[in-house]
Chain A
């Protein structure tokens, strides 16, 4: 059966390649998640941001490892503690022929945080900054406090045109009238749920992309997406399910491209309640929250067999994690090892903390958000049960999960005791997880916003704040690494693994994997 499969596939592949020759310049991409708008400032969400990169440039672009590169700005430098000067690229034209100038930048940053009905605006990146035009090709970004992450923030905002874009509604972007940028591709058509089509911008200022036409099609069901690639209906797919990787590796007609993402999967533990709602003694009676004890947290981390999760649940497509970002990212500590699997040590530590008989707890997690999320939660529960922490599993759709995990308790606090979550560092450096997950929850300062375990340590907080105000890169890098070490030392959270993303292409194409999980046509190249 298997032999026959391969034979027919080879034949189909040959046919496909033959047919491909005539229309070799068109690229069809099957996307795991649907793009919901062409308006680049409507919804700050991965699939939309990735798509908008085709039509709209940023002042600063991110390469596939999220390092910053000049985009529409050729340079950005701090003039003083509170001002950054951006020199703009000259001679760049929008798709409608108009010139790109400082006015476009100013109006872009005015519109970005204020798009009507936006479910997730770019205010996160624009707040606290005022943009001033100095001359046609110079702008100043001013802040109230020293702000080292200026480049990262600015790199998220798509530059739209003053003449047609800034005053336009989301609908006008979707029907194409306002979808005018300076990017490598021009808008052709958008049919919600069906396809987005672009054509090459022949006058692009940067490297000209290989494909004259690109079509994106959402195919949310994993097996269907793989089938579409195997059948030759699409050239590239994102989000190859881990379950199919072994078979696809053995298939000569497709190629797989893998790369680590900036997303860490971790466990948040209730560290703010004396009695945690989903933790009891084994007989069901109330006990003092054991997660307040650092030894218990450490024991849990030791009880988790990260290699087994990576090998068995993730089919080898993940990297065991001991900190917040994988090696090579800015702010990562070189002194942190992935905690070793040590069930006996975990039991001993539990006994030392007074929980030798174990206790009962429930792990909560989403079942449609991260790669294999429900299965990971189940595997962790199995492992903890084995060291005496009898763990039940409750997974739910993300629509239900995140609301409850953030503020589901009667007091509006996080509802659960022990949760599985993931964090993608949008900025591509360690301050993003540190300030959101580790810093003490501080509503007014906007820090610790996603600290659902409410871990709080003044020393770490001080370190994070110091890093956030340090403009010198080398110094900031060290401070971030130190803060990470402190957080891992007190087991503020338990990282389990970094997600690895897999793209599949037909033979003869290559995709440069991106840590930000974006799928972009500019990254698809012919290999022969």
Chain B
């Protein structure tokens, strides 16, 4: 197992190196960040001075080598715009995104699985049809549109919840998060729901498909024949079996939650890494874009690793090995 983990991490570093090259050179092609950074009052001399201060006067390959040199020491460069280490900025923004993504994941499981279970058990019931139609809508509505609608209804019209921003934070077990204060939770709810919408639909559909498939299988028929109560069959046997694919997929979707948080964070002015990334992209803050990617690659590799390990615990038939699925 440790060999497996090590190999996975090695692969991650390979990908990170590759990504850094692509992004480093790619961002450089788009445009020159200096023109948007300097004050319009600046003359040519000041422009050149700024280029030199940011190290952009060197040839691009030399800049890349310098970046690599720094990266080996754990320094991914300073943000052009904030003047602080890019890594520090990202770690600063990370808790906000993580709590948002975790809450969304939580919401999608708590809302999605029961609905999916119901729809799977009574596929012909009108309520089930409604649930499924709703899940299609959830898939199809653009996130940004839903986000603003949520603000309009719950914050502006009804005034129940705050419209934007992150609430007060508190520290619990050494973790500082807005999950631990009432104010924080009230700020968190709408963006988390917005982000969760797609995943709720996904959980509904996965669970329903799983239930429908399981209900036709021999072990369920057998359990029925043995006279077990329907309740027991569903909650002990069926649910246990369908949890495996659901957990896997939802775990993998955690990554996509972080990816999609870019949109949600923009609308809800949520101070997370997604907002940081889109701003960095729009302002060509190359060190931040590159550092974000490095972190995210590492992050996803770790998520996958955890999912694989969880999987092997939930389903003993699966052995950890590096062969494709």
Partner-B contacts on A (CB < 8 A): 5, 8-9, 11-12, 15-16, 30, 34, 36-37, 39, 42-45, 116-121, 123-125, 127, 170-171, 174, 191-195, 217-221, 223-225, 227-228, 230-233, 368, 397-404, 406, 423-424, 426, 432, 436, 443, 446-447, 449-450
Contact = CB atoms under 8 A, between A and B. Distances in A.
A11 B96 CA distance: 32
B307 interface: no
Interface stretch (B63-71, B116-124, B253-261, B276-284): B276-284
Given A192-B92, A231-B163, A123 B282 contact: no
Interface string B38-57: 11111111110110011000
A446 B156 contact: no
A233 B54 contact: no
The list of the 6 closest CB pairs from A to B, nearest first, reads A446-B43, A119-B37, A193-B271, A194-B271, A403-B32, A402-B35
8 contacts: A43-B37, A121-B49, A124-B41, A227-B148, A228-B164, A230-B156, A399-B30, A402-B36
B34 interface: yes
Contact of B163 (A8, A224, A447, A450): A224
A368 B282 CA distance: 9
A220 B283 CA distance: 14
Interface residues of B, number: 57
Contact of A37 (B38, B45, B83, B96): B83
A117 B83 contact: yes
B292 interface: no
Contacts of A30: 164, 269
A434 B300 CA distance: 53
B207 to A, nearest CB: 33
A38 to B, nearest CB: 11
Query: Chain A's interface: helix, strand, loop or mixed, by majority?
Result: mixed
Contacts of B84: 170-171, 174, 192
Contact of A39 (B42, B83, B163): B83
A224 B148 contact: yes
Contacts of A436: 40-41
B199 to A, nearest CB: 22
Interface stretch (B5-13, B74-82, B101-109): B74-82
Interface string B89-106: 100110010000000000
B30 A400 contact: yes
A449 B164 contact: no
Contact of A399 (B82, B148, B155, B284): B284
A31 B228 CA distance: 62
B210 interface: no
The winner among B36, B89, B151, B166 for most chain A CB atoms within 10 A is B36
A398 B36 contact: yes
Given A116-B53, A224-B151, A192 B271 contact: yes
Contacts of B43: 124, 446-447, 449
B168 to A, nearest CB: 11
B89 A192 contact: yes
B157 interface: yes
B236 interface: no
Contact of B53 (A11, A117, A170, A218): A117
A316 to B, nearest CB: 24
